[in-house]
Amino acid sequence: MHIAVIGAGISGLTCARQLQVQGHSVTVYEKSADVSGRMSTRQTEFGGFDHGAQYLTASSDVFRKRLAAWKKAGLIIDWSPNLVRLEQGAHKPAPRSPKRFIAIPGMGALCTHLAQGLDVRCEQVVRRIEPFGKQWLLSVGSPNVAIDASAGPFDAVLLAVPAEQALPLLAAAPALAKQVAKAKLSPCWALMLSFPLPLALGYDGAWVSGSRLGWIMRDNAKPEHRAGERWVAHASNDWSVRHLEDDEERVQEKLLKAFHEATGSQVQPVHVSAHRWRYAQAQAPLAENCLWRPRLRIGTCGDWFAAGLEGCGRIENAYLSGLALAAAVGS
């Protein structure tokens, strides 16, 4: 089959690779300039920031085996940061947590690897999916091109994007749209900071309570990351929801103040930037592994599916869901 996959995050790339192995001809459409989605590493003159997902964990045997294979291939390494809980300026030991892995040199590198050998079209936003006989046509926009292009026909279309971004594309599959509408992802503001000297806080990362921030992490604590003191801070879910539409400068100011308050450090950064993840964290997952309508040949996958796990919203969910959708298409 000739298949279109929309979204080049880890779920879309996993699904596309698997389908290609099954002998299908696959084209991946990605609206951003590069692959990786929420696993992107933001490059700056001060070094890379993993401003979305920061590490991988595994709770299933399938993903544990996948991580072992990626580790053997030199794509990921173990990571044992010193993590604490920050409460009103005092830091307390963090509860025992699962084994962590990071992609090197940054999280985005793993998706760059997965995209190799695939036909990935970046800076191509899919705006509409329309039936064309028993096939599908996509309406695709790209920067600097005034008129959307038509792509296809495709025998199947697979949406590997957050539920809220899938919904407007599902006008021709209302029953599927109804199920997708039950999932919800909440936003997260991320702050990236580079300092002229080490902050010497005594920890690499912290869950923060009683603050605008929920989590902070010393990005250069990751082995093989470029030298220089860099921190990523994620605003709490509540704060991100309330300030979702604030302008970036105001968010930088407020979150930097919160960073100084939480850590007790007053060192001023030489670089501050913020990123709004509009659909960051899956809150209400769908219980399924993925959704697939064999008669229409349209489906969805992503981290907003439980995919056999207890929680949702992790790289592991996205990976397993991408695999499940490829298996469903092939069955």
Ligand X SMILES: Cc1cc2nc3c(=O)[nH]c(=O)nc-3n(C[C@H](O)[C@H](O)[C@H](O)COP(=O)(O)OP(=O)(O)OC[C@H]3O[C@@H](n4cnc5c(N)ncnc54)[C@H](O)[C@@H]3O)c2cc1C
Contact set with ligand X (CB under 6 A): 6-12, 29-32, 37-39, 52-56, 125-126, 160-162, 165, 188, 190, 234, 277, 280, 302-303, 313-315, 318
Interatomic CA distance for residues 301 and 255, integer angstroms: 33
From the CB of 263, what's the least distance to ligand X, in Å?
19
Nearest distance from residue 21's CB to ligand X, in Å?
A: 18
Could you give the angle at the alpha carbon of 251 between the alpha carbons of 247 and 254, nearest 5°?
A: 145
Angle of helix 10-21 relative to helix 108-115, nearest 10 degrees, comes to 20
CB of 266 to ligand X, least distance (A): 26
Q: Which is nearer to ligand X, 237 or 265 (CB)?
A: 237
**Shortest Å, Cβ 6 to ligand X:** 5
Q: Of 54 and 194, which CB lies nearer to ligand X in the complex structure?
A: 54
Compare residues 8 and 251 and give the one whose CB is closer to ligand X: 8
Residues 318 and 298: their CA atoms lie apart, in Å, by: 18
CB of 188 or CB of 255, closer to ligand X? 188
The token pair at 93 is: 């030991």
* Shortest distance in whole angstroms from residue 39 CB to ligand X: 5
Instruction: Give me the least distance between CB of 196 and ligand X, in Å please.
Output: 25
**Amino acid letter, 262:** A
Using CA atoms, how far residue 249 sits from 160, 232, 255, 273, 280, in Å, is 31, 16, 10, 8, 20
Rounded to a whole number of angstroms, the minimum distance from the CB of residue 197 to ligand X is 26
Minimum distance of ligand X from residue 331's CB (angstroms): 21
AA letter at 22: Q
| Choice between 9 and 299, CB closer to ligand X | 9
CA distance 273 to 63: 33
* Cβ proximity to ligand X, 148 vs 267, nearer residue: 148
Whole-number Å distance between alpha carbons of 232 and 57? 19
Going by C-alpha positions, the residue among 219, 235, 298 that lies closest to residue 1 is 298
What end-to-end distance do the CA atoms of the chain give, in Å? 13
Peptide bond into 223 cis (omega under 30): no
Which lies closer to ligand X via its Cβ, residue 207 or residue 265?
207
Q: Which is nearer to ligand X, 126 or 258 (CB)?
A: 126
C-alpha atoms less than 13 angstroms from C-alpha of 177 in its C-beta half-sphere: 10
- One-letter identity of residue 324: A
